[in-house]
Structure 1
Amino acid sequence: MPSSTTTRKHESSVGSGLWKRWRGYLARWLLFGGIVGMFQPIEDDLDNFGLQKLYQALFGLFFGAVCAVVFTLAENTLNVQRTKWKSWLIVISTWLAVKLVFIGAMAVAGESRP
Structure 2
Amino acid sequence: MLDDVRKFKDTKKHFDKVREDLEIAQVKNAQAPRNKPHEVEEATSTLNFTRKCFRHLALDYVLQINVLQAKKKFEILDAMLSFMHAQYSLYQQGYNLLDEIDPYMKKLAAEVSSVVFHIRY
TM-score (norm 1): 0.33
Q: Which has the higher helix share?
A: 2
